[in-house]
Structure 1
C-alpha cells in the first residue's frame, strides 16, 4: 500500500499546532503545541526522537524554550510520554503535569522501562524509544481530577479518564471548545479519512484496559459537548460523537469476543482473527476507501496489542514484570 511520504505541522485555530512526531510513519503520532499570549504548552510529546520536531515547531512560531510553561502527557505510554524527560531538559521554565499514577514513573522510569521491554522486547524498545530521561521531582506536578491550570489566562482542565489506562487524563480546552483525548477516543489514522467519512478503532493495549471505565470516561467527555477531539493518533476530529460511538461499539464487541473465547485452547489466534473481522466490518461500514489488505496492514499492530490487553483484562494472560507501572 502507499503511505504518505511527507508530513508536517498543521496549524489549527485557537493557537493549536499538530506536530507530527515522526513515530512509526508520517501522521501516526501527534504532539500538540498550544500557544496563548506568548506562552506555550505541549500536550503529549512522542518519543525522544520527537524532541527536535517540537522545538522546531516552537521556533517556527517565534517562541523560545523558556516560554513553555507546561508539558502534559495524557498518559505515560511511550508514544505519548517517552520524550517528556528529554524535552523537559530543553525547557527551563516548564513543569510536567501528569496523572498521579504516572508521576513517580516520570521521576524514576526504571519500572516503566522494564514493563515496556516485557511487552515489546529489548530490541524494539532500543530501536523505537531509547531510554527515558528522568524528570526532577520538583518539576513534576500530579494532575488531580478537575484541576485547572492556566496558560497565560487560558484555562486547561485536567480530567481523570481511565479505560485505556488507569493513568490516563484528558485536557479540556475551553478556548477551542475541544478536548485533547490521548487514546480515550481511540485511534483514527489519516489513511482512514475521506472528505466525508473516517474510521476509528479502540486501543486496549496492555496492561490496564477496562471497557466499563472507558464507557464512563467517554460519557464524561461527551457531556462537555466538545466541538473537536484532538487525538494523538491522529489530529483533530470534528465528528466527536460519531467517533465515540464507533470506539465504544467496537470496544464492546472486543470484550464480548474475548469473553466467548475465554476457555478456547486456541484463544490467541481466534481472538486476533475475531479482532480483524470486527475492524474490517466497521471500516467497511464507514466507507473507508482502502482494500481489506490495506486496512489490515494499518491495524496489524493494534490487533496484536489489543489482543494482549484483552487477555490481561480477562485474566487469560498476566501482566509482564514491571508492567503495573504502565
Structure 2
C-alpha cells in the first residue's frame, strides 16, 4: 500500500497543481472572450480546490499586490482626453453617476429585503464599480468577499451579454478598426516603464498600508497624477495583469468551502434578478438622459451601464458609439464608487439593521 506524501511535499504539489490549473483555465476563458476571464478562471479553480479540502491559503501581501496592479490599471484610464470630456459635460455626468449609485443602493436594499443576503455583502455586491476593485474593498471592510465576488461577476456577465444584445438590436455593427482602437495597457512594453509602474505599485502598497483599501487607492491616485504630469507611462504587461487578477481570484476562491458554496447557490437567482433589475433601471435612466441631452441612446446606455469600464469601452469602439463619453462617465463613476463605497455600504447596513429591528 503506498505511503502518504509528507505534508510539505503534498502542499507543494497542491500549489503547483493550483497554479497550473488556475493559469490554464484563466487563459482559456480569456481566449473565449469571457468577461474578466483572467479573474474568473483562477477563482473557479481555487473554489474547486477549497471545496475539495485542499486547505491552501494565499499570503495577504500577494493579494495586496494584485490590488495595487488593479489600482494602477484604473489609473491608466485617467487621461487629459477623459478629463476634458468630463469638464465639458460634468453636470450631466455627476447626475448620471449619482443616479446610478442611488439605483445600485436601491437594488442592494432589495436583495437584502427579498433575497436574504446580508446588508454588508449586498452593499458591495451591487456597487456599480470595477468588480475586482469592489471585491478588494469589500475584503478591506470586512464583508464576505466570496459572496461579493459572485454578485459582482454575475452582474459583469449579465451586463456584457445584454450590452452586446442591445447593440445588435439597435443595428450597431462592429467597425473594421475596432480591434486596433480598443484601449490596451501596453502593446510593446518598455522595460523602464514596466519597472517604474511596478515601483508605483510597490510604493503605493507601502504608503497605503494604514489606509482603507490603501493598496488599491494609493497606486491609483499616485499613478494617475504621475501619468497626467507626463512623468510616467503606465505599462502593465499582460502576464503581470494575469498574475494580479489570478492572485485576487485565488485569494478569494481558496476561502470558499462547501458551506459557502451551498449558501451562494441558493441565492444565485436573487443575484441574477438583482443584476438584471439594476441594468434595466440604468437603461431607463440612459433613455431619459439621452432624450434630455440630444445624445444617442446606445452611447448613453453604455456610459451608464453598471459593467466594467474595459468591456463597455470595447463595445463602444466596435459599435461606433461615443467612446469619449463612455470612458469619461464610466471612469467618473468608478472613482465615485471607490471614494464613496465605504460610506454607501455603511448607510445600506444601517438601513437594513433599522428595518430588521
TM range (shorter): under 0.3
Bigger radius of gyration among the two: 2
TM-score by length of 1: 0.25
Higher helix share: 2
Of Structure 1 and Structure 2, which has the larger fraction of its residues in strand? Answer: 1
For CA contacts below 8 A with separation 6 or more, give which structure has more relative contact order. 2
**TM-score between the two structures when normalised by the length of structure 2:** 0.23
